[in-house]
Amino acid sequence: MQSKKIGKQTINYLHPVSIVSFASIVGPKEGQGPLGSSFDYILADNLDGEKSWEKTEQKMLEHSLALALAKKNYLAKDLDYFLAGDLLNQIVCSNFTARAIGTPFLGIYGACSTLVEGLVLGSILIDGGYGSRVGIASSSHHETAERQLRFPTELGVQRTMTAQWTVTGSGAYILEDNPNGADIVITQGIIGKVIDLGQANAMDMGAAMAPAAADTITQYFKDTGRKPEDFDLIITGDLGNIGRVLCQQLVLQSGYDISKNYSDCGVLIYDPAQDTHAGGSGCGCSASVLAGYLLPQIIEGKLRNIFLVGTGALLSPTSAQQGETIPCIAHGIVIQGNR
Amino acid sequence: MDLKEINMRVQERQRDLLQIKNFNDAEIQLINEELQKDYQKLVLFESKANDKEVRLTIKNLRNKVIEQQDLVKKYLQIRYARLVNKSAPKIPVLKNALAAFFVGGTICVIGQIILNVIVLNGVPNKEATAITLMVMVFISALLTGLGIYDEIGRFGGAGSMVPITGFANSIVSPALEYKREGYVYGIGAKVFTIAGPVLLYGSLISVIIGLTFYIIK
Amino acid sequence: MFENIFNAFLIGGIICVIGQLIMDLTPFVITPAHVLVGYVTSGAVISAVGLYEPLIKFGGAGASIPLSGFGHSLAQGAIEGAKTKGLLGAIGGGFESTAVGIVAAILLGLSMATIFNPKG
């Protein structure tokens, strides 16, 4: 039997797994950002007619899945599995969405790396022949994350220069085994290790997560023997301005120069004039940027292939208050176009 | 006998670790793996040992392994911290200080004007100060409710946090925030999330001062 | 009249800048709760040794509105209580002088929460 694993951590999908449909929803601030016009739906305000921000986030997740399904005229019952995760305690947005759609469901958590974790796992399910159609979704909401992880939203606090802005946004994806000429194909994935280099400042997640991202990126190149130039774009999930620079330096120290084609979703989603300081973060950051901005470019042939590395900080408010350092993780996925 | 072996390995490693700076990443990884191996072995021995004394020696050895693990971890952390510090964004100290001075000063000026008006109306100074504080608390609560005070805070930093208006903001903002969780467990329980410590340590310091003066009187 | 307004601006501004510099120049992560607690306790201690009263005389609202002024009221209330009512006064005096402000803030919190919703 041909091995589906290369090197230490990389997964090689032997059967092509294609992303047949995808959708993104973002909040108003993201809608005003440089990528604003590329998202499917922009919320009117941070409540969007719901009674609480938590409800808004849950609806956003549910609606992005509905959009992705509707684009292909599918119903939720056409999915073999639904994999989703978010940042709220006990991933309630995902649980409640699964309750609403009634599809076999696996809740997953990898903080802001959740989307890529879902894509890796969903592809494994399909490649392994355990199903032929899988839904993946992930979301975050600025206000729900602020009040859970930091301060009440109306408290007058100055944000530090290293602070990142949690993206209000969600993305949903439909994966299929589709042997005949799909536009977008997932060919490889890599499951990351938890890395902690002693950063404890919850206001500087980029610096905490950069080593995990760098580790996954270098490990992928080591495992596969590929080079940074082989990709049109290497993009991390939500390292922000500070983490992006650190990640690039760390990867360079390991002997790979990614400076020419490396970017970060958290850097792309906001304009510096929007005063978000170090850029965007959150599950919804990579989830909305991949669906809204990256995949359309692959379909159009502007990008032939990308290496998306989702990054997550695995802390809790309690662990942060107890002074624990922040363990971080990064999973990667290789997405290819067919043009 | 196995225990002796591990002990020797630990001693040997202690010497190696003095030169950790000369090791490359692969070598450090190897050390980490060996440490993990020793640690697992020791936990296994410990689980099988019945004698109290033997357990204690194993535990001591295990602690030594933990110390060595920490040493490697510390080394990597410090190395990374240097890189982080190099690329850390500069805090605009002067701009922040000016903003804090301006916002803090302005809030106090508003207070002073209110105080002057009240005093002009013939209210004694002490009561006038109390009334002024109440008015300031009210203004801050209203601005918090309207969603304006957090914007002032984003600009003014300590300038908006330190005045009594900041204290009011710290009480009103969680009250607003947790309204959706209900009036008892939401507003009721969370209203002191940020101001609670002030009341606790305020009580403490006030009683300490009171008792001190009571005793020396 | 205008002089005391200028003094209030100066003293109030300086007291706030001290907090900002502590936040920006020290490596500790300082949250609003830390700032509030720090000002109240240090204000009380400074007041107990008799150094806050002159500041209020000069700065007026510039010294009484910052939370160190709240600490000052606590300390003076406790001292006053200890002198006039003995042990009970020493324990309760601080809050006797500040109760109005605290109760006002709490009840305003409740009423604002009833009227408004958080905007984010």
Separation CA B163–CA C67 (nearest Å): 5
Which pLDDT tens digit goes with each residue over B32-44? 999 999 999 999 9
Q: Are A118 and A255 in contact (CB under 8 A)?
A: no
> Residue B82 pLDDT more than 70?
yes
What would the DSSP string read from start to end of A6-23?
Answer: ETTTEEEEEEEEEEEEEE
Query: Residues with Cβ < 8 Å from C88, sequence gap 6 or more?
Result: C81
Contact of A202 with A326, CB cutoff 8 Å: yes
For residues A276 and A34, what is the distance between their CA atoms, to the nearest angstrom?
A: 13
Quote the CA–CA distance of A142 and B64 in Å, as a whole number.
45
Query: Which sign, positive or negative, has the C-alpha torsion A51, A56, A62, A66?
Result: positive
Question: Is the pLDDT score of B158 beyond 70?
Answer: yes
The mean pLDDT value for C72-94 works out to: 94
Question: In the predicted model, is pLDDT for residue B1 greater than 70?
Answer: no
What value does the mean pLDDT take over residues B188-201?
A: 92
**Chain A residue nearest residue B99, CA to CA:** A158
Do the Cβ atoms of A153 and B161 come within 8 Å? no
Q: Which residues of C touch A153 (CB under 8 A)?
A: 118-120
Give the whole-angstrom CA distance, residue C88 versus residue C16. Answer: 34
Distance of alpha carbon A198 from alpha carbon C109, whole angstroms: 39
Q: How far apart are CA B168 and CA B137, in angstroms?
A: 6
Q: Any chain B CB within 8 A of the CB of C74?
A: yes
Which residues of chain C lie closer than 8 angstroms to A203, CB-CB? 29
Lowest mean pLDDT among A124-128, A187-191, A288-292, B88-92: B88-92
Q: Is some CB atom of chain A closer than 8 A to the CB atom of C119? A: yes
Tens digits of residue pLDDT in B171-187: 999 999 999 999 999 99
SS3 sequence, B69-113? HHHHHHHHHHHHHHHHHHHCCCCCHHHHHHHHHHHHHHHHHHHHH
The answer to the question of residue C120 being in a domain is no
pLDDT band at B87 (very low <50, low <70, confident <90, very high): confident
pLDDT at C57: 94
The two structure tokens encoding residue B103: 């916002």
The hierarchical CATH code for the domain A185-337 is: 3.40.47.40
- What is the model's pLDDT at position A339? 65
CB contact under 8 A, A154 and C32: no
End-to-end alpha-carbon separation of chain A, Å?
30
Residue A264 φ/ψ region, left for φ over 0, alpha for ψ in the -120 to 50 degree band, beta for the rest: beta
Cβ partners under 8 Å of residue A131, min gap 6: A80, A81, A125
pLDDT at A1 over 70: no
The answer, yes or no, to whether residue A179 has pLDDT greater than 80, is no
The CATH number given to A5-177 is 3.40.47.40
Q: Please give the average per-residue pLDDT across B123-129, as a whole number.
A: 90
Please tell me the total count of domains within chain C.
Answer: 1
Residues of B with CB under 8 A from a CB of A: 25, 73-74, 76-78, 80-81, 83-84, 87-92, 96, 144, 147, 149-158, 160-161, 166, 169-170, 172-174, 176-178, 180, 193-194
Q: Give contacts of B84 with chain A, Cβ < 8 Å.
A: 199, 204, 207, 246
Judge contact between C8 and B116, C-beta under 8 A.
Answer: no
Q: Which chains touch A (3 or more CB pairs under 8 A)?
A: B, C
pLDDT of residue A2: 65
Question: CA distances (Å), A16 to each of A126, A184, A270, B164, C79, in order?
Answer: 9, 10, 34, 63, 79
Can you tell me the distance from the alpha carbon of C84 to that of A63, in angstroms, rounded to the nearest whole number? 67
What distance separates the 2 farthest-apart alpha carbons in chain A?
61
Q: Looking at chain A, which residue has its C-alpha nearest residue B160?
A: A156
| Residue C27 CB coordination number (10 Å) | 6
Q: Do the chains contact at B88 and A162, CB–CB below 8 Å? A: yes
The two tokens of residue A60 are 């956003």
- Residues 81-100 (C) with a CB less than 8 A from some CB of B: 81-83, 86-87, 89-91, 93-95, 98, 100
The SS3 of residue A263 is strand
| Residue B27 Cα, gap to closest chain A Cα (Å) | 14
* Mean pLDDT, chain A, whole residue set: 95
10 Å Cβ neighbour count for C115?
11
Q: How sure is the predictor about C72, in pLDDT bands with cuts at 50, 70 and 90?
A: very high
**DSSP β-ladder status, A305-313 and A233-236:** parallel
Mean pLDDT of chain C, nearest integer: 92
Contact A158 B76 (CB under 8 A): no
Give C-chain residues touching A155 at CB under 8 angstroms.
32
The pLDDT value recorded for residue C101 is 86
Residue A141 in tokens:
């909401």
User: In the block, which residue shows the tokens 């969603």?
Assistant: B147
Task: Report percent pLDDT > 90 for chain A.
Answer: 89
- Assign B217 a pLDDT band (cuts: 50, 70, 90): confident
C-beta of residue A270 within 8 angstroms of C-beta of residue A165: yes
pLDDT in tens, A11-40: 999 988 999 999 999 999 999 999 999 999
pLDDT reading at B191 higher than 70: yes
pLDDT (tens digit, 9 = 90+) per residue, A190-224? Answer: 999 999 999 998 889 999 999 999 999 999 999 99
SS3 state of residue A112: strand
Q: What is the pLDDT of residue C119?
A: 85
Q: Is A159 exposed, middle or buried (0-12, 13-18, 19+ CB in 10 A)?
A: middle
pLDDT, tens digit (0-9, with 9 covering 90-100), for A305-322: 999 999 999 999 999 889
Q: How far apart are CA C1 and CA B112, in angstroms?
A: 10
Measured from the Cβ of residue A303, the count of other Cβ atoms closer than 10 Å reads: 21
Tokens standing for residue A103? 């599809």
**Which backbone phi and psi does A271 adopt, to 5 degrees?**
-85, 140
What does the block give as tokens for C55? Answer: 């500041």
At C27 the pLDDT is 80
Q: How far is CA B49 from the centre of its chain?
A: 42
Residues A260-281 have pLDDT tens digits of 999 999 999 999 999 899 999 9
Residues recorded for chain B: 217
Q: What's the pLDDT tens digit per position in B131-153?
A: 999 999 999 999 999 999 999 99
Q: pLDDT by residue (tens digit) across A112-153?
A: 999 999 999 999 999 999 999 999 999 999 999 998 888 888
**Sequence spans of domains, chain A:** 5-177, 185-337
Whether residue C30 lies within 8 A of chain B, CB to CB, comes out as: no
pLDDT band at A182 (very low <50, low <70, confident <90, very high): confident
- Does residue C1 have a pLDDT over 90? no
Instruction: Give the nearest chain B residue to A326 (CA atoms).
Output: B77
**Domain-embedded: residue C12:** yes
- What confidence score (pLDDT) does residue C3 get? 87
